[in-house]
């Protein structure tokens, strides 16, 4: 992992450390380069809060190409090149949330969430009395509803920009319940890449996601740690070295 700062499986252990919940059985580890920064973003005090935003297909080089369209992240965040662990969304997100490799968690399709013995950081938080929330596509939200109380879903849509806007809206609504940890998933970059859209269109998708993140940050306490990461590198044409994903850590109060 010498060319990377960390792996996707290290994100959940760092978040668990931040909010003070155990994450037994994780393949990933608490890396000080991540955990120390997360604590600084939350001012290192008690009652630390975190928001994890997964951006589908936000590869490291993809982020570098479109970071001018994502000023909320590029101006205010610290970026890491993070090792990907899967090429597809469902196993990658399961790895991000559990800290385990796909071979460990076994979640290759949404239905596997119901049968996997591996618990996500959201579930571990809930078991410890730490309120958590998730906003994702409807089928995934239904599966997570069996694990945590605050689970909201958005139906898949041909209009992926409207879909992401609905994700943002539900996330802001759920903040009224004061979750300590919230996870959400934006998909516009991935959809546009699959459709073979132009660079300009992809930049628009990236910019729309950045604006959603900025609006969410406006609704968060200033000392909230916001973690943004890709799930896998962008599909389609890419160079051999475009194998990592972007991981950006920032403080909510610094956005604006």
Phi and psi angles of residue 61, each rounded to the nearest 5 degrees, phi first: -70, -30
Cα distance between residue 55 and residue 12, in whole Å: 16
The pLDDT score that the predictor gives to residue 1 is 42
| 182: phi then psi, degrees, rounded to nearest 5 | -130, 140
pLDDT at position 240: 54
Q: What is the DSSP string of 114-143?
A: GT-SPPPHHHHHHHTT--EEEEEEHHHHHH
Distance CA 108, CA 245 (A): 19
Percent composition of the chain: helix, strand, coil (DSSP 3-state, to 5): 45, 20, 35
CA dihedral 196→108→2→248, nearest 10 degrees, is 60
Q: Is the dihedral of CA 152, 157, 161, 162 positive or negative?
A: negative
**Domain-wise residue ranges, the chain:** 6-254
The predicted pLDDT at position 44 comes to: 52
Q: How far is CA 171 from the centre of its chain?
A: 13
pLDDT in tens, 156-173: 999 999 999 999 999 999
Among candidate residues 161, 168, 166, the one with its CA nearest the CA of residue 197:
161
User: Which numeric CATH code is attached to 6-254?
Assistant: 3.40.720.10
pTM: 0.95
**End-to-end C-alpha distance for the chain, whole angstroms:** 34
Asked whether the CA dihedral 199, 210, 170, 59 is positive or negative, the reply is positive
Run means of pLDDT, 10 residues per run, the chain, 256 residues = 80 97 96 95 73 98 96 96 94 97 94 90 96 96 93 97 99 96 98 95 98 97 96 72 88 92
């Amino acid at each position: 992992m010498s060319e990377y700062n960390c792996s996707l499986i290290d994100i959940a252990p760092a978040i668990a450390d931040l909010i003070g919940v155990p994450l037994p059985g994780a393949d990933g580890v608490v890396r000080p380069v991540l955990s120390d920064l997360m604590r600084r973003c939350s001012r290192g005090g008690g009652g630390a809060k975190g928001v994890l935003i997964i951006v589908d297909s936000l590869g490291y080089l993809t982020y570098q190409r479109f970071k001018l369209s994502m000023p909320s992240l590029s101006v205010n965040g610290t970026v890491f090149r993070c090792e990907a662990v899967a090429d597809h969304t469902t196993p990658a997100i399961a790895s991000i949330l559990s800290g385990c490799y796909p071979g460990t968690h076994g979640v290759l399709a949404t239905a596997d969430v119901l049968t996997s013995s591996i618990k996500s950081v959201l579930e571990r938080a809930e078991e410890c009395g730490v309120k958590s929330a998730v906003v994702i596509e409807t089928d995934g939200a239904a599966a997570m509803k069996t694990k945590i109380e605050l689970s909201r879903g958005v139906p898949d849509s041909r209009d992926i920009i409207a879909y992401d806007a609905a994700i943002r809206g539900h996330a802001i609504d759920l903040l009224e319940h004061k979750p300590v940890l919230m996870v959400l998933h934006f998909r516009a970059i991935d959809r546009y890449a699959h459709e073979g859209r132009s660079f300009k269109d992809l930049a628009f998708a990236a910019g729309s996601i950045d604006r959603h993140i900025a609006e969410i940050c406006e609704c968060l306490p200033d000392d909230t740690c916001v973690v943004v990461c890709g799930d896998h590198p962008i599909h389609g044409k890419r160079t051999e070295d475009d194998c990592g994903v972007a991981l950006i850590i920032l403080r909510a109060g610094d956005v604006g």
